[in-house]
């Protein structure tokens, strides 16, 4: 049986000049994959009628489902709705449901006067089926032509997600006979992509054709993913799990989790299991580790807070680092992070703590301590460990990789203590 | 004179199942725009030979330049190099420069034994011109066919950026006669997209055809961008600046900056100008505001740090919020953020401070204080202001929008005080 293929088209000039990063199409791809739709291509095109028409023509050759986002806003640079109206040979009419929704939003939610421009959001081509948008003023639209279904959604992620979850996913599941696509993903840390490839070379060579292996580097770690598909869910899962278990054994020294979840979720689960708390003292990461931890819903169960000690002053006055230590050894030193850790645990009274100090660049490096030098300490009231790392990326990436390495260092300490 | 068009193709199954967000193509698009290359389309395809060949055939109809990233890694799921070798009718040979580079990286930088797999990174099709990769082991490759130039780069952002900056951009500037593309972007806050559209409606109606206006919503703010192009740099800039100045006047009550820079950079510049310092006390944003501020290089000049007081305990013990206040009015209350602010300014001794407490969801809301309720306070030692906001997004977006609104609140307070 052949795959059901989809193309995802994001529309907007801002995507082509790189002013925004497209997060919609990754999210849509995830949702389609979960229900067994194979994403064939993701394309970004500009707010140009001829370019939109060209890409619709092309993608309809490859795909059964074409999902579009963007270009449905109230302003004149948003042309998608009119282009689709012409493409499918319709004319614009007011949709009563959409009109009611726009009025409700402006009168009850935004509490702003409603304008001509806003009211035009309720107009749709008479050849489409309307999907009401409960989170905004631009409705979604469904068109059918030949064997292909075309769905247009707003580009605002929150609105698009509502329409996908409530209407599009149920519709596609009903309309198509979809195979089960199964992925198994694990996260490894502390080993590079090619070293990992050496370790699992024999395994990889012997993988059957129906199972694909992918290496996904992420913040200095590597995720390994096995993928397969079929129509008998149990058989497919049994088959992939056999290989996935073998792979876990091979990678066991570097395995962080055998689920497709980020490091901060793994650390959070571990703390919840042990009923323990943690706090952080951050210099160079400037609150990024706190942000990672608190991006997880329910993190207040195990996270107390962070002292972001960006200056010498805060290191001394809040964390109690000795002026002598800072002046003789410097803020980026083993002794400083140890004193930060001890001050943190004393002050915030958590079971575990992490302290980080380094030079993220682009300036601030010296011959002894080049940009990318980072010291970190992790510990509890009885014991601690320190490590020094050397990074060689941009400021942004140095912060991200340091944050992840600190969480991995914490994870290993918790497991051992 | 016609545009020089480019297509950006990112290759990797992980892009189609949505496991990673593609940041490469936005960055590449920015760089191309700066030198006057118009990006026609951005496409993501899987690690599949037939899909890569199809897309190369198609894009060569539209574009003069085809830039590819991804699929050049050392592992067997990386097939781009072999596909290109077949597509352009070459055979694999060892490139001496690339071989030297791989050996250098493993012996001097990674300090790991070099494997068979790694050595294969030095093999390239004999029909390409090699671009050496100073940041990694996979070289870039240039192919010419008909009027189209094809360039293949590794998918690791840090490596791709090095190759783009050092080799690709200079090459394209030399090879093509490129127009000047000029954008002018401003950031507005405190007004929605459609309300802004009403204010500038007449301006928009009277814009000449060669100038395009775009509305770019971003974290609850709106960027406005004018774009135009031509071959006489001075004339093009004079023309767009005239309209841009008119637009600034129309949007003046909401204008944050008339440069294409984020809020955190604007706030940082303001503090540096005034030679003042700031600190933050964050509950619900969990370090995100600190992260925004410290993502700017040089922020240590004006930023002292943050007390991320995620728990009641830290609010009381570090910031000195009264237990009574927390117990009677709750952590999400005007009184709590005022006490957080006062404690913060007393403790960290900065000129300005910001305090934030709210409920980011998905759980934790009550009838009185639903998810999305946020209180914030901003002030100095003499004065302060508070505001309450109500958001209705996901946890992730609630944190992001709150962070931006807090920085805007701070910006306005600094300007007035």
**Domain-wise residue ranges, chain B:** 5-175, 180-257, 263-416
- The pLDDT value given to residue B304: 97
- The pLDDT value given to residue B1: 53
Region B187-198 average pLDDT: 90
Q: Are B39 and A27 inside 8 Å of each other by CB?
A: no
- The pLDDT value given to residue A21: 77
Q: Are A393 and B158 inside 8 Å of each other by CB?
A: yes
Our CA-based measurement puts residue B180 at a distance from the nearest CA of chain A, in whole angstroms, of 14
Confidence class of residue B351 from pLDDT cuts 50, 70 and 90? very high
- Indicate the residue of B73, B193, B308 with minimum beta-carbon distance to A306: B308
d(CA B220, CA B198): 18
- The pLDDT value given to residue A193: 84
- The pLDDT value given to residue B47: 92
* pLDDT tens string B163-183: 999 999 999 999 999 998 899
- Indicate the residue of A30, A218, A303 with minimum beta-carbon distance to B18: A30
Region B350-371 average pLDDT: 95
- The pLDDT value given to residue B280: 98
pLDDT of A370 higher than 70 = yes
Q: Which residue of B has its CA nearest to A399?
A: B295
C-alpha distance from residue A266 to each of A188, A218, A296, A410, B21 (Å): 12, 15, 10, 11, 21
d(CA B200, CA B353): 35
Superfamily of domain A5-175: MoaB/Mog-like domain (3.40.980.10)
Q: Are A29 and B41 inside 8 Å of each other by CB?
A: no
d(CA B73, CA B120): 10
Q: Which residue of B has its CA nearest to A25?
A: B18
For residues A98 and A124, is the Cβ–Cβ distance under 8 A?
yes
For residues B8 and B27, is the Cβ–Cβ distance under 8 A?
no
- The pLDDT value given to residue A70: 94
- Indicate the residue of B46, B158, B361 with minimum beta-carbon distance to A397: B158
Q: Pick the residue with more confidence: A214 or B67?
A: B67
pLDDT of B391 higher than 80 = yes
A146-181: burial string, b at 16+ Cβ within 10 Å, e else: eebbbbbbbbbbebbbbbbebbbbebbeeebebbbb
Our CA-based measurement puts residue A50 at a distance from the nearest CA of chain B, in whole angstroms, of 11
Assign a CATH topology to domain A180-257.
Alpha-Beta Plaits (3.30.70)
Q: Are B18 and A40 inside 8 Å of each other by CB?
A: no
Region B117-130 average pLDDT: 93
Our CA-based measurement puts residue A354 at a distance from the nearest CA of chain B, in whole angstroms, of 14
Q: Are A77 and B156 inside 8 Å of each other by CB?
A: no
Our CA-based measurement puts residue A26 at a distance from the nearest CA of chain B, in whole angstroms, of 4
Q: Please state, rounded to an integer, the average pLDDT across all residues of chain B.
A: 94
Residue recorded with tokens 């009563």 = A96
- The pLDDT value given to residue B110: 75
Q: Which distant-in-sequence residues (6+ apart) come within 8 Å of A173 by Cβ?
A: A35
CB atoms within 10 A of CB B57: 10
* pLDDT tens string B288-337: 999 999 999 999 999 999 999 999 999 999 999 999 999 999 999 999 99
Confidence class of residue A19 from pLDDT cuts 50, 70 and 90? confident
- Measured between beta carbons, which residues in chain A are less than 8 angstroms from residue B76? 204, 213
- Measured between beta carbons, which residues in chain B are less than 8 angstroms from residue A47? 214
Our CA-based measurement puts residue A44 at a distance from the nearest CA of chain B, in whole angstroms, of 5
For residues A282 and A358, is the Cβ–Cβ distance under 8 A?
no
Q: Which residue of A has its CA nearest to B44?
A: A42
* pLDDT tens string B125-162: 999 999 999 888 899 999 999 999 999 999 988 899 99
Tell me if ipTM is over 0.95: no
**E strand residue ranges, B154-211:** 180-188
- Indicate the residue of A73, A183, A395 with minimum beta-carbon distance to B215: A73
- Measured between beta carbons, which residues in chain A are less than 8 angstroms from residue B291? 285-288, 290-291, 399
Superfamily of domain A263-416: CinA-like (3.90.950.20)
Best of B7, B11, B17 to disrupt the A interface (most A CBs within 10 Å) is: B17
d(CA B323, CA A4): 59
Kindly give the pairing relationship between strand A278-282 and strand B384-390.
Answer: unpaired
Confidence class of residue A392 from pLDDT cuts 50, 70 and 90? confident
Region B40-57 average pLDDT: 95
- Measured between beta carbons, which residues in chain B are less than 8 angstroms from residue A11? none
- Measured between beta carbons, which residues in chain A are less than 8 angstroms from residue B361? 297
Our CA-based measurement puts residue B377 at a distance from the nearest CA of chain A, in whole angstroms, of 19
Q: Pick the residue with more confidence: A257 or B157?
A: A257
Region A5-10 average pLDDT: 97
pLDDT of B219 higher than 90 = no
- Measured between beta carbons, which residues in chain B are less than 8 angstroms from residue A289? 287
* pLDDT tens string A317-363: 999 999 999 999 999 999 999 999 999 999 999 999 999 999 999 99
Q: Which residue of B has its CA nearest to A36?
A: B17
Q: Are A306 and B288 inside 8 Å of each other by CB?
A: no
Q: Which residue of A has its CA nearest to B36?
A: A17
Region B342-350 average pLDDT: 97
Best of A36, A59, A75, A109 to disrupt the B interface (most B CBs within 10 Å) is: A75
Q: What's the CA dihedral at B67, B73, B76, B78 to 10 degrees?
A: -10
Q: Are A195 and B306 inside 8 Å of each other by CB?
A: no
The dihedral built from the CA positions of residue B71, B76, B79 and B82, taken in this order, carries a sign that is positive
Our CA-based measurement puts residue B15 at a distance from the nearest CA of chain A, in whole angstroms, of 7
Region B20-40 average pLDDT: 90
Region A277-299 average pLDDT: 98
Size of interface A-B (CB pairs under 8 A): 332
pLDDT of B201 higher than 60 = yes
């Amino acid at each position: 049986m052949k795959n059901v293929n989809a193309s995802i088209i994001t529309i907007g000039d801002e995507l082509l000049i790189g002013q925004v990063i497209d997060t919609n199409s990754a999210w849509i791809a995830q949702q389609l994959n979960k229900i067994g739709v194979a994403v064939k291509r993701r394309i970004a095109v500009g707010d140009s009628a001829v370019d939109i028409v060209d890409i619709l023509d092309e993608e309809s050759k490859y795909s059964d489902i074409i999902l579009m986002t963007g270009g449905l806003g109230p302003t004149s640079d948003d042309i998608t709705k009119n282009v689709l109206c012409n493409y499918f040979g319709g004319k614009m009419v007011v949709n009563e449901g959409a009109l009611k929704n726009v009025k409700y939003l402006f009168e009850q939610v935004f509490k702003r006067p409603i304008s001509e421009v806003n009211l035009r959001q309720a107009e749709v081509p008479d050849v489409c089926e309307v999907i009401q948008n409960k989170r905004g003023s631009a409705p979604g639209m469904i068109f059918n032509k030949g064997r292909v279904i075309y769905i247009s959604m707003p580009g605002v992620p929150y609105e698009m997600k509502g329409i996908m979850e409530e209407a599009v996913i149920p519709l596609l599941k009903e309309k198509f006979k979809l195979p089960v696509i199964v992925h198994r993903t694990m996260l490894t840390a502390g080993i590079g992509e090619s070293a990992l490839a050496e370790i699992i070379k024999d395994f990889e060579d012997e993988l059957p054709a129906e199972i694909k292996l992918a290496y996904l580097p992420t913040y200095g770690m590597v995720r390994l993913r096995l993928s397969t598909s079929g129509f008998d869910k149990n058989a497919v899962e049994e088959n992939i799990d056999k290989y996935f278990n073998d792979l876990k054994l091979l990678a066991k020294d570097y395995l962080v989790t055998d689920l497709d979840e980020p490091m901060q979720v793994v650390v959070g689960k571990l703390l919840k299991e042990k009923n323990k708390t943690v706090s952080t003292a951050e210099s160079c990461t400037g609150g990024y580790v706190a942000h990672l931890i608190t991006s997880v819903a329910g993190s207040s169960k195990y996270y107390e807070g962070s002292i972001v000690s960006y200056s010498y002053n805060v290191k001394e006055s809040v964390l109690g680092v000795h002026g002598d230590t800072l002046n003789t050894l410097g803020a980026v030193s083993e002794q400083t992070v140890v004193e930060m850790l001890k001050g943190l645990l004393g002050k915030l009274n958590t079971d575990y703590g992490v302290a980080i100090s380094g030079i993220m660049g682009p300036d601030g490096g010296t011959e002894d301590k080049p940009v990318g030098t980072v010291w970190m300490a992790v510990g509890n009231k009885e014991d601690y460990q320190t490590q020094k790392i050397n990074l060689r990326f941009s400021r942004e990436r140095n912060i991200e990789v340091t944050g992840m390495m600190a969480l991995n260092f914490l994870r290993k300490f918790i497991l051992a203590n």
